[in-house]
Amino acid sequence: MSKVELYDTTLRDGAQSEGISFSVADKLKISGKLDELGIHFIEGGWPGANPKDMEFFKKVKKLRLKNSKIVAFGSTRHANSRVSSDKVLKGLLSAETKYITIFGKSWDLHVRDVFKADLAENLRMIEDSIRFLKSKGKIVFYDAEHFFDGYRANRDYALKTLAAAENAGADRIILCDTNGGTITSQVFETVEDVRSAIKTPLGIHTHNDCDMAVANSVAAVQAGCVQVHGTVNGYGERCGNANLISVIGSLKLKLGIDCISDLELRELTEVARFVAEVCNVKMNDNEPFVGNSAFAHKAGVHVNAILKNPRTYEHADPHSVGNHRRLLISELSGRSTILKKAEDMDLGLEKGGAKTKKILKALQDLEGKGYHFESAEASLELLIKRVMKKFKDFFDLEDFRVIIETKKGGKMATEATIKLKVGKELEHTASLGDGPVNALDSALRKALKKFYPSLNEMHLTDYKVRVLDEKEGTAAKVRVLIQSQDADDSWWTIGVSENIIEASWQALVDSVEYKLLKDSERKKASV
């Protein structure tokens, strides 16, 4: 098979995911990004069902889409009604799209228990609705809802529903695993059987309730489907829909199917992360192809092999999907990992050298105490440069104090006082904050800004705390991770202690020193 159509339903099915709600502006942004990826069809929503979807269909006409066609979604006519007066079909026409997808029932259980209609009427509903839309000059895709369940329960009737759609002139018939409960081998066998009975080109629409949606979609294509439905990152109701990102990666890289171009494939990671950001949902690090950990290597043996030949532990070139390789530093790391990190930092290390051994030993000791450098690469860089004596502290702490008190009316107040030296000059400052970490951060940068004005560009963006051994109760060690950001970059640093203030202070100091180190190295490079 040389060509497969990609049909995205993020804006409709994806919006049914718990915690996701799109504004019209969100839907327009995502549409533009999907167009850049080369998606063939974008399902915009159900016109007539809510004002927001109607507004989207009006505004999306102004987008200059190069690759994607916008599709309106709805259902067949209601039971025992006329197509000419059906509100759903009128709503679909009001969207003024060339392409329309309607769904109908394939499972006799649904016809009887949900529609409360006889089986013959359901067939008429499918055929009437498609004929009506075709008479208006529309290209019609028919979603055979619950097809696989219906096929298992009553094969003959399920096939009759498809025949009704075909007789009415449907341009594509999409087999839907709406409950997400079908096994991959069953999908393949069923699609093959349907192909022998139906001549209309087939599509596949799967849900992920058995964690097989991507596999089922790929198997359906192998069995002869020419259109694949899915959502970016697998968003959708319950356990989600087929992850269209993974489907694209598998079709293109594993089966050699020309669904998008090589150039468009390099946008895969960017699109996945962009949509996650618009959805305000943290993307899983272990997402195939596009996750932050998709091409991350931790064990020393693996890293050693990867550096010799990436194919040893990578199923695909990360750059082909717009991702990149990461070598993680941990107590499992070997010398090869340390050497590669030092190379990335333009530091000369020898594999059998004393400094390499010293860095590895320091790293393993700290990880044994609860440090986790794969999540805090800024602290890792400082550690390596300190061991190699390539780093000099920008300031020396004399002491600090944090006071938390309850004011009149029960309001909490926090004040941090810091005394430090920059060279021979002593600086003593205090600052109020919303909490101890915020107060310490404010006091530290207040003390340093006259020496290092660039700290005004920097601010904290995230703060995470993890108790490392809950059995120790209030005496347990805590790990603090802090994310900081300036105009050009963001970075993570780490601190570990039985005292949350001390752990926070360690991470804060590393954060500030990493910023100052970056600035000093940039300044040297420009000279």
Residue 238 maps to a domain? yes
Question: 128 with 26, same domain?
Answer: yes
Domain that holds residue 98: 5-260
Residue 279 maps to a domain? no
Residue 388 maps to a domain? no
How much is the pTM?
0.73
Residue 276 maps to a domain? no
CATH at 429: 3.30.160.270
Question: 148 with 184, same domain?
Answer: yes
Q: What percent of the chain has pLDDT over 90?
A: 64
Question: 188 with 222, same domain?
Answer: yes
Predicted confidence (pLDDT) per residue in 5-64, tens digit? 999 999 999 999 999 999 999 999 999 999 999 999 999 999 977 889 999 999 999 999
Burial 308-335 (b: 16+ CB within 10 A, else e): eeeeeeeebebeebbbebebbbbbbbbb
State how far the Cα of 172 lies from the Cα of 101, in Å rounded to an integer: 9
Mean pLDDT over each residue of the chain, to the nearest integer: 90
Q: Taking 60 as the threshold, does the pLDDT of residue 330 lie above it?
A: no
Question: 102 with 43, same domain?
Answer: yes
Question: 522 with 434, same domain?
Answer: yes
Question: 256 with 307, same domain?
Answer: no
Question: 246 with 300, same domain?
Answer: no
Specify the pLDDT at position 351: 63
Percentages helix, strand, coil for the chain (3-state, rounded to 5) are 45, 20, 35
Least confident residue range of 104-108, 285-289, 326-330: 326-330
Residue 245 maps to a domain? yes
Residue 324 maps to a domain? yes
Answer yes or no: are the C-beta atoms of 142 and 176 closer than 8 Å.
no
Which of 214, 244, 260 delimits the end of a domain? 260
Specify the pLDDT at position 280: 82
Predicted confidence (pLDDT) per residue in 189-239, tens digit? 999 999 999 999 999 999 999 999 999 999 999 999 999 999 999 999 999
Question: 53 with 201, same domain?
Answer: yes
Specify the pLDDT at position 345: 66
Q: Taking 90 as the threshold, does the pLDDT of residue 135 lie above it?
A: yes
State how far the Cα of 518 lies from the Cα of 493, in Å rounded to an integer: 14
State how far the Cα of 449 lies from the Cα of 430, in Å rounded to an integer: 13
Burial 262-287 (b: 16+ CB within 10 A, else e): eebbbbbbbbbbbbbebbeeebeeeb
Residue 277 maps to a domain? no
CATH at 40: 3.20.20.70
Specify the pLDDT at position 471: 60
Question: 442 with 512, same domain?
Answer: yes
Question: 228 with 79, same domain?
Answer: yes
In the chain, how many domains are there? 3
Specify the pLDDT at position 336: 59
Residue 100, C-beta contacts closer than 8 angstroms, at least 6 positions apart: 71, 72, 73, 74, 92, 133, 138, 139, 140, 141
Which of 371, 406, 423 delimits the end of a domain? 371
Question: 402 with 364, same domain?
Answer: no
Residue 159, C-beta contacts closer than 8 angstroms, at least 6 positions apart: 151, 194, 197, 198
Label residue 487 by pLDDT band (50, 70, 90): confident
Predicted confidence (pLDDT) per residue in 396-444, tens digit? 999 999 998 887 777 788 999 999 999 989 999 999 988 888 899 999 9
Question: 481 with 420, same domain?
Answer: yes
Least confident residue range of 148-162, 307-321, 363-377: 363-377
Q: Taking 70 as the threshold, does the pLDDT of residue 128 lie above it?
A: yes
State how far the Cα of 391 lies from the Cα of 396, in Å rounded to an integer: 14
Nearest of 218, 251, 315 to residue 39 by alpha carbon: 251
Residue 463 maps to a domain? yes
Specify the pLDDT at position 427: 92
Which of 240, 260, 280 delimits the end of a domain? 260
Q: What percent of the chain has pLDDT over 70?
A: 92
